[in-house]
Amino acid sequence: MTANSSAGPSSGLGDLSLLQSRRLFASLYCLIFLLGIPGTLLLLLVLIPDLLRPGASHVSRLTGPLLVNIALLDLLLFLYNVPVTLGNVLFQGWPWGYVVCVTYNSLSLTIVFADFYSLLAVSLLRYVAVLRPTCTLAASPRHSAGVCVSTWALGSLVSVPLWIHYATVQVEGETYCVNQMPRQQLALYYRLLGGAAFLPPMLLMILCYARIVCALWVRRALASHTASSLQSNRRATVMALVTVVTFVAMWVPYWLVVFLTKDDELLRTGPMYLASNLSTLLAYANRCINPLISFSFSSHCQAGLRKLLRRPGCRAHRCSMGRLREAAGGRGEHSRH
């Protein structure tokens, strides 16, 4: 995804250990692919009809498109980045060419930060819904689309240096995908990435949820909320908070590896090879659990899933089975008489 795009271990792992680790990582990436796509598609099938629900609340009309946006970002990650990463594990060097080298690394960062800023927008909307319930925000489809496009734009903005500096190079007859940014510029870029693009929004989310938790659980009641509104806000806040916490916790190891990697040589050692792949696996696995969080904590997602599973064909099958059981019962009664 970043500096670990194509480097392979040249020392620290024997040939047998390297082969076994490649097979293990390839199996885990396949598992993430097979679990992530069905779960994300199922979540989209539930969320998209919910956008058109006539009785949706004002905040739901704003947060709904953001949740769809996050699911679409996850789907793009599973369909493009995970297969490329799988091929990168299976093959020595970089087999995909220049275009995939640039798009794979840059798009990865775009998706991560677009996801992150979508979560930030959800946090701010939850804050307004709980602490400023009388405040009315524009909830037209145009405004919702504008917020989603803004998250993509911000994610693309932070990845501009990667679009410029990633390239394929030949080393001892092998092709590698590397970041050619000078070391000092790379260090400055990572500091700006963490200190300006990530840390301030993260602190803002922490502040929002601290105020929300205080209002919903510590104070126990808000004068402007009914009992049902209070319960609904609590459930929505728990789901959003769990999503944010798992996102940060499962991406921190990956970014630690990125920040600790000073040059490509470090990634050719066994420990760094294992650390980079394990942290990438953990980061990708985070996107697999998003549907689980939604279906576990959101009553709307649970209702949508039940509605989706109640297909007309299934109902007809149950009705026919019921009639057969009734007929069988009737014949049994007739034979006894």
Residue 114 to residue 201: CA distance in whole angstroms:
12
* Beta-bridge partners for 171: 174
Res 321 pLDDT > 50: no
Pairing of strands 166-171, 174-179: antiparallel
Q: Does domain 15-301 have CATH number 3.40.50.12660?
A: no
Res 30 pLDDT > 90: yes
Task: Please state the domain extents for the chain.
Answer: 15-301
pTM of the shown model: 0.82
Q: How far from the centroid of its chain's Cα atoms is residue 106's Cα?
A: 16
* Mean local confidence (pLDDT), 199-225: 79
Find the radius of gyration of the CA atoms of the chain. 25
pLDDT the model gives residue 302: 87
CB 39 within 8 A of CB 31: no
CB 148 within 8 A of CB 65: yes
pLDDT the model gives residue 58: 64
Percent of the chain whose pLDDT exceeds 70: 77
Neighbours of 314 (CB within 10 A): 10
Q: pLDDT digits over 215-266, tens only?
A: 887 665 455 556 666 777 788 888 888 998 998 899 888 877 777 765 544 4
Helix (H, G, I), strand (E, B) or coil at 269: strand
**Quick one: pLDDT band at residue 273, thresholds 50, 70, 90?**
confident
Q: pLDDT digits over 54-111, tens only?
A: 656 666 777 889 999 999 999 999 999 999 999 888 887 898 999 999 999 999 999 9
Residue in this structure with the two tokens 């640039």, named with its chain if needed: 102
pLDDT the model gives residue 277: 84
Q: pLDDT digits over 112-131, tens only?
A: 999 999 999 999 988 888 88
Res 5 pLDDT > 80: no
Residue 315 to residue 69: CA distance in whole angstroms:
32
Percent of the chain whose pLDDT exceeds 90: 33
Q: How far from the centroid of its chain's Cα atoms is residue 120's Cα?
A: 13
Q: What stretch of H or E contains 80?
A: none
CB 205 within 8 A of CB 197: no
* Beta-bridge partners for 177: 168
**Quick one: pLDDT band at residue 148, thresholds 50, 70, 90?**
very high
Structure tokens at 83: 């297969």
Residue 48 to residue 43: CA distance in whole angstroms:
9
Residue 97 to residue 84: CA distance in whole angstroms:
11
Please state, rounded to an integer, the average pLDDT across all residues of the chain: 80
DSSP letter assigned to residue 1: -
